[in-house]
Structure 1
Amino acid sequence: MLIFRTATNRTTLANAVRSGRLVRLDEGIYSTDTQTDPIVQIQQNVPRVLAYLRPGCVISHHSAILEDFGAADGLVIVSDPAVAQSYLHHLPGLKVLAVKGPGPVVGDSELTAGGVYAASVWRAALENLEPRRRLRALGRSIVAPPPEIEAFLARRMTTSVEAEGFLQGVNLVMRESGQWSAECARVSTLVQSRLRQMAALAPGMSPWVDHQRVRLFEDLANQLLRGQFGNEAFWGGRLLDFPSRPVPGDRRFLNLAFYESYFSNYIEGTEFAPEDARVIALEERQDKAQSKEGHDIRSLYRLYADPESFLREDHSPDEFIANLKFWHARFGEHIDKEAIHPGRFKDKANRAGGTWFADPAQVEGTLRVAWEIGQHLSEPFDRAVFRAVSTVSIHPFLDGNGRITRLAAANVLGRAGKMRLMIPTVFREDYILALRAFSNGNPVPVIRMFQQAARITTSVPFDRSFPELTQWLRERNAFLPPEEAKWRPAPEESDLRPTKKPKPSCFSGPGTYD
């Protein structure tokens, strides 16, 4: 955990360094982790470091379109209205370039409370279309190279809905900030060109399928088949067997069902202590003020804990789609969920930040193509990863998409009699960043993220009593937010390694879908 120097703790920090309880990473930056390389610690805590160095700044320009903000490349660019001229901070393994620019504007997202913001995709597009300025201190421009900008914009305009929504977003940023009028005009030209291209869609390309997403799904399937990113460790029976139904005298099934549903709800903001959530899920007691959240906890747990609901088969795209609608209807069957249209696909476009998901008219067709692509995967772990990522990328419902798609992935493993994939709160940021990377065209982080989730879940002693199991998870930091802690491996956790040579890629796509 990082600790930053203030006017009142200088002496305390110095004493802690002398006694070996802290290590000094850089001027004013200390850590309780005395073993991990300072470079790694700095790169893993970029938002908190920036909040110390440049409170109120916005991660901007080229850094704003990179999945890790440029930490892996050793450079993060921020806009800061407080600087008179560009300033370069040198840290272990990282440079932070502060350029004069506006603070947070409409759409920018806050990464740390009262500290650092990330530019919205709309602002990022406008900033990266600014005239290229080569800075002598860097030997490069602060804006992305033209091919990267083109790819970034293309990913946000895969349908007419996305293209028009993106144009609305950049216009809003321009109006609210009073800046980037010339850049906004360029975006408008690009959007109009994109709309003309989509109007002249090539013959054989169905308008009812999101072909941009299909290409992402094909790439993910190919990478899973190659088995080079950790998933090969779970081939050939290496993923542990696990009860797919409750067994008398065996706590494992219901303990996992509870914690799968608990952490899945927590990812989406339903934040209860595990003991309180268990009372709501099992004993149907809750405060009236917690009605909606209490229903979410109870309905999702009941889906995981009921084999007849949880283990539904899908031998065709029709059955798969029917299962998604069934689970969504069961999840949203209480009165507080009427607005999300339980059991029905969305009737309007939805997005997370600046990322638009599949057009409503393309949801069912794209789900069918995803099901067909998934049939090329033979290993239960690979099929579950593909099911989770492809379905959530489509976002077929108005709400509840994350919870239902994680349930769909668990269904794949449950039907195979294998250990499912639990994502503790401490691992939430890795999960979200990996999905964001996939949306940006990189499937590798989601494969690595899910194999880490499998390692974690495999290590959990689900055969213990609920209080013992909960205490074990607390000792591993499972319930802490990722900015406060990391997962603490148990002494008995094993290092799962591949037992096979990687398979060559053999998936060339499903052909044309009308």
Structure 2
Amino acid sequence: MRKNIDTLATLIFSSAEDQANAQRVSRLARAGKLRAIHRGIYTSDLESPLEQIVRPNWRQIAEHLYPGSILGYRSAQEGKPDSEGRIFLVQGNRARRIELPGLTLMIIPGPGPISGREAALNDTPYGKLFVSSEARRLLENLYTGRDAAIRTMGRAWVESQLSRLCTLRGEHKVNDLRDATRQLAEILGMDAQFKALNSIVSALMRTGDAGRLGAVDALARAAGKPYDPDRLIIFDALFTELRQSFPHVPDPTTSGLSTTNFSFFEAYFSNYIEGTTFTVEEASEIIFEGKIIEKRSEDSHDVLGTYQAITRQPFRSNPPGNEDEFLEWLKLANHRVLSSRPDKNPGQWKEKLNQAGSTLFVHPELVQGTLREGFKRVALLEDPLARALMAMFVITEVHPFGDGNGRTARLAMNTYLTQASACRIIIPTAYREDYLLPLKALSRNTDPIPFVRSMTRIQAWSAAFDYSNFQNTWKQMAECNAFSDDIGQHKLLHPHEIRNLVDKTSNR
């Protein structure tokens, strides 16, 4: 039975300044109602391992033992004990090391908290502690003396952090931050750290020598090709999952009518999933008869533009061969799809940050560099489906244009498949959530498995129809619920399931 005393806090502190409380705590400890953790620190939890009590409550303990100290170095950035349970505090003029179960307080000599100056220089109050300012934190993490490897995030982290700040705030704001660190270095006696920071900022802004930079994203910025390092983590997760051989699903069409019919449904669904909705009859008039639906001229041209891109080179089966070609290919493809919408800047890289729901896509400044990094992974994959899915996800995750990103991404995917004489992929309306949710799982949780599973499944579905007769294909897809918006009521079926149902019915 748990012996924890509910009327007492989990942690109880005692100090000489409050004799009455100290005597009370002493009596409770002698009565076996408290356990001692450290001098002046007790717990009313008599059962749990002390490590499980101490580590989550590190802040209360630090406030009791070293009030007014500064949470600094890597602890200021991470906001929690490191993997070894260490917290780094700046206070006084003597280094100390305080060991508690599951927690080690590393006391680093240094000036007290900065306050009363311009905002960029002031350390932030944090209960009875302070957290080092951004400028101080950057300087602290450029420390290279004894125990630097455990005390700091390291120079590479500072380089990446400054590169990220250049993107998020602009170079002029980073210049202001450099000015703040210059002032702070004089106060803190960190001239050597400021010299290192100054050289990093100069290199990032291409006014200094980039030869000493070590972080790959900082080097990319210094070379004029900055990218989003967080996206590369996701790309690598998908790349690892795709390094396998997938069953070859052959193209079910032959040149001529079956290819035309497949291309129609590919274009129809690729637009429908983006909200450009027509009936099949309307879409067939747009594509096969050149009709422009009244009051929907731009939507009509979207469908036609997508179809034309699907059926024409280089978008049909000639994918790009290198990074430069990849960027140019994407711009041409997006322009082809959105050619009737000059207000959407077709074929031009986005100028504003875009998002879908709570998902923020890649910053405009990082678009080209991130696409280049993504293409490197596409080029390293050998299986055609693997290359196709990698290319599609890279484009979707970057979202490089103001509009038409989904259609451009699916077009790129299918180009790789046709090049390998494999079946292109159609995403029918009823499969919308099965397509989008795995994309979100990969983007937010770095989990590639649902995405790969979803796409291999829908490729098999796309290959299961006979595309030689338009009306028959349309009918078969309708029987499979492909056109259904209500996926709760009408799940997408495979043609084999329909045939099995028909066989069972005829045999009764």
Equivalent position to 1:454, from 436, 450, 459: 459
Query: What is the deviation of 1:491?
Result: 2.6
Query: What is the deviation of 1:286?
Result: 2.6
Q: Structure 2: how far apart are the matches of 1:295 and 1:159?
A: 39
Question: Contact conserved, 2:251 with 2:422, CA < 8 A, in 1?
Answer: yes
Greater C-alpha Rg: 2
- State the match for 1:222 in structure 2: 240
Question: Contact conserved, 1:159 with 1:359, CA < 8 A, in 2?
Answer: no
Q: Structure 2: how far apart are the matches of 1:409 and 1:466?
A: 24
Give the AA of the match of 1:370. Answer: G
Structure 2: give runs of 5+ residues left out of the alignment.
1-162, 170-199, 205-212, 500-508
Number of residue equivalences: 291
Give the AA of the match of 1:483. Answer: G
Give the AA of the match of 2:359. Answer: T
Q: Structure 2: how far apart are the matches of 1:345 and 1:312?
A: 22
- State the match for 1:240 in structure 2: 250
- State the match for 1:327 in structure 2: 333
Q: Deviations over 1:275-313 (max 9, x none)?
A: 211111121113331112111111101111224542234
Secondary structure of the 2:298 match is helix
Q: Deviations over 1:40-81 (max 9, x none)?
A: xxxxxxxxxxxxxxxxxxxxxxxxxxxxxxxxxxxxxxxxxx
- State the match for 1:98 in structure 2: none
Q: Structure 1: how far apart are the matches of 2:410 and 2:266?
A: 9
- State the match for 1:343 in structure 2: 347
Equivalent position to 1:280, from 268, 275, 286: 286
Q: Structure 1: how far apart are the matches of 2:165 and 2:401?
A: 19
Structure 1: give runs of 5+ residues left out of the alignment.
1-157, 165-197, 495-514
Q: Structure 2: how far apart are the matches of 1:217 and 1:203?
A: 18
| Match runs of 1:89-488 below 5 Å | 203-205=215-217, 206-207=220-221, 208-225=226-243, 227=244, 232=245, 234-235=246-247, 238-242=248-252, 247-248=255-256, 251-334=257-340, 337-440=341-444, 441-463=446-468, 465-481=469-485, 482-488=487-493
Question: Contact conserved, 1:426 with 1:486, CA < 8 A, in 2?
Answer: yes
- State the match for 1:24 in structure 2: none
Structure with higher helix content: 2
Sequence identity, in percent?
A: 31
Question: Contact conserved, 2:377 with 2:390, CA < 8 A, in 1?
Answer: no
Q: Deviations over 1:377-430 (max 9, x none)?
A: 111111111111111100000100000000000010111111111111100011
Give the AA of the match of 1:203. Answer: A
Secondary structure of the 2:463 match is helix
The TM-score normalised by the length of structure 1 is: 0.53
Q: Over aligned residues, Cα RMSD in angstroms?
A: 2.7
Bigger RCO of structures 1 and 2 (CA < 8 A, at least 6 apart): 1
- State the match for 2:174 in structure 1: none
Shift of the 400–331 alpha-carbon distance from structure 1 to 2, 3 Å rule, reads same
Question: Contact conserved, 1:312 with 1:323, CA < 8 A, in 2?
Answer: no
Shift of the 309–386 alpha-carbon distance from structure 1 to 2, 3 Å rule, reads closer
- State the match for 1:38 in structure 2: none
Query: What is the deviation of 1:159?
Result: 5.5
Query: What is the deviation of 1:483?
Result: 2.7
Question: Contact conserved, 1:304 with 1:407, CA < 8 A, in 2?
Answer: yes
Question: Contact conserved, 1:476 with 1:489, CA < 8 A, in 2?
Answer: yes
The TM-score normalised by the length of structure 2 is: 0.54
